[in-house]
Amino acid sequence: MLLNQFLFLGAFLFCTGIFGVLTRKNAVLVLMSIELMLAAVNVNLVAFGAFHNAPTDPARVVGQVFALFVLTIAAAEVGVGLAIVLLIYRNLHSADLDDADTLKG
């Protein structure tokens, strides 16, 4: 298999995630788009890990290990992010990011 087909899949998912972050107004949907981007990065990392998979290559596990760290950070980020969204909802009675404009000059 070609390395590029996985990299293109990752690039497509990443660009879709960027589109979602820029166009969505609901805070939970923005967080979902960020998850999409993190998943795209994971596809890239694992594809490069599989690319360096000669049996004696010390780099053959690095892709998986890095992907596991990304997964952990993503889980932590969702937890804190949803807590912040919940707080915004409680204070503004809306999860709409356009309503959270208190700091706007």
Partner 1 sequence: MIWENIFFGVIAAAMAISALGVVTTKNVVHAALFLVVVLAGGAAQFLLLGQEFVAWVQVLVYIGAVIVLFLFGIMLTRAPMHPEESLENNLRWPAAAASLFLAGILGGLLVHEFHGVEIDLHSPVRTSEVTNAIFRTYLIPFEVVGVLLLGALVGAVVLARRD
Should residue 20 be labelled a site residue for partner 1 when binding is judged by CB under 8 A? yes
Should residue 76 be labelled a site residue for partner 1 when binding is judged by CB under 8 A? yes
| Rounded-to-integer distance, Cα 29 and Cα 44, Å | 23
Instruction: Kindly give the interhelix angle for 3-23 and 27-51, rounded to the nearest 10 degrees.
Output: 170
| Rounded-to-integer distance, Cα 24 and Cα 77, Å | 18
Tokens representing 6 are: 């996985």
Q: Per CB under 8 A, which of residues 39..68 are in contact with partner 1?
A: 39, 42-43, 46-47, 49-51, 53-55, 60-65, 67-68
Tokens representing 42 are: 């994971």
Should residue 100 be labelled a site residue for partner 1 when binding is judged by CB under 8 A? no
Should residue 7 be labelled a site residue for partner 1 when binding is judged by CB under 8 A? yes
Task: Please identify, using beta-carbon distances, which residue of 98 and 105 lies nearer to partner 1.
Answer: 98
Count of residues that bind partner 1 according to CB under 8 A: 73
Query: How does DSSP classify residue 29?
Result: H
Rounded to a whole number of angstroms, the minimum distance from the CB of residue 74 to partner 1 is 7
